Amino acid sequence: MSSTTFDLIVIGAGPGGYIASIRAAQLGLSVACIEKEDRLGGTCLRVGCIPSKALLESSELYHEAKDGFDRHGIAFGEVKADIAKMMARKDGIVKTLTSGIDGLFKKHKVQRFQGVGRFVARGKVAVVDANGKVAHELAGKNILVATGSVSAPLKGVEVDGDIIGTSTEALSWPAVPKHLVVIGAGAIGLEMGSVWARLGAKVTVLEYADRPLAAMDVEVSALAKKLFEKQGIAFKLGVKVVGARRAGNGALVEVGGQPPIECDRVLLAVGRRPNTEGLGLEAVGVKLDERGRIPVDHHFRTQALGVYAIGDVVRGAMLAHKAEEEGVACVEFIATGHCHVNYDAIPNVVYTSPEIASVGKTEEELKAAGIPYKKGAFPFMANARARALGHTDGFVKILAHQETDRILGGHIIGPRAGDLIAEIAMAMEFGSSSEDVARTCHAHPTLSEVVKEAALAVDGRALNI
């Protein structure tokens, strides 16, 4: 067992942890990063954001080749989906990117330790190996917890990691299920449901709320439901799942007040919970809140001196890029005494087809807060580039303060929404008005013109509709 002292010890090498490690090294700190898995990148890179986007892209291309290219005058013979090859491509992307983080750690001289990080005393962390033995004991002037989250369980749902699984298993199924039941109509459930629906599965989504994507803008959510139903995804909303278990070669899902549903596979996607078990936080006096999160102040400091936390283990949206921003801000505070994260300008994206993206406040939130606002919306149907692409479903909506015109929120459903939302997020970061966006020249023909037209529409002067 070795003992080493560092300026900063980071526990967890997901998006928040590895980015924090690199930024801290850039600032001249000596850094150790502890990660239990053999590959860096956390859930997002290994079994989350990145592999799911690889399968979303592959399945969308398959669907286009099978049903959509004809409108472009492109004809194929029989189109087949090679699931094994799709999975191999996905795994190759993950391997390349995880190896890339290894290279970045070496470049910036971040020292990596494999194992579970556990507090043993103030300023001291043990690295516990797979056999439960302490392989290293590290001392750190500052310690940052960035251990992310895990899939949330649901009472009565018996997850077996095969027939009934989480998104981790759904990323590696060897064949297309005949009937997939998805429990939860959030981003994860709809993205993975879309993958398998495009590849030929019958998909039924069960949701306790009265609409899918319940945290999103109501108009966006309503249109999304219609478009997903056109794609063959069935919704049962306002229902309570009381159980799911294996039955023969498939599964049986029990829904309160309704007949049970027979299916081949079940995807449990009801959210995620902070991953804080086994950290030994009690050894340094850190107590979790009622939702299992680590309480922090606006500088990411916990109750324990020198202990910080970011990402999914603290308050706020569980998003990889939110964790990255917090990781950078946290270590900049440690090194310089200053940091900043604008939580009103953190975008959220659902990578379905069409994509769905939002930033800032929804109309419902503004109404509830009594904030006077005006809005402008513009459809992709009236955009030349969207017409050329053959993807015209959806719209851009911009919300601005009634008196100051400052942008308060942006909501997009349509082609490349995840890329387009960045313009609105940047505008909000700089405190821009809708007039600022409206008077910025946008290239023609591009999808970004829909953002400009929505900004013009805030003042009732859209030009192309």
Q: Is 444 a catalytic residue?
A: yes
Cα 115 to Cα 356: distance, rounded to the nearest angstrom: 37
**Tokens at residue 355, please?**
């994509």
371: number of Cβ within 10 Å: 14
- Alpha carbon 90 to its chain centroid, in Å, reads 17
Q: What is the DSSP letter of 302?
A: -
- Compute the C-alpha angle 172/148/296, nearest 5°: 165
Cα 262 to Cα 439: distance, rounded to the nearest angstrom: 55
Q: What is the DSSP letter of 164?
A: E
Cα 184 to Cα 203: distance, rounded to the nearest angstrom: 12
User: Alpha helices of 337-462 — where are they, by DSSP H?
Assistant: 363-369, 384-389, 417-429, 434-438, 449-458
CA distances to 51, 210, 387 from 190, rounded to whole Å, are 15, 15, 25
Instruction: For residue 95, give the H/E element and its range.
Output: helix 83-108
Q: Positive or negative, the Cα torsion across 190, 191, 192, 194?
A: positive
Which residue among 72, 299, 340, 444 is the active-site one? 444
Specify the amino acid at residue 36. K
Q: Which of helix, strand or coil describes residue 30?
A: coil
Cα 99 to Cα 39: distance, rounded to the nearest angstrom: 8
Which residues carry out catalysis? 444
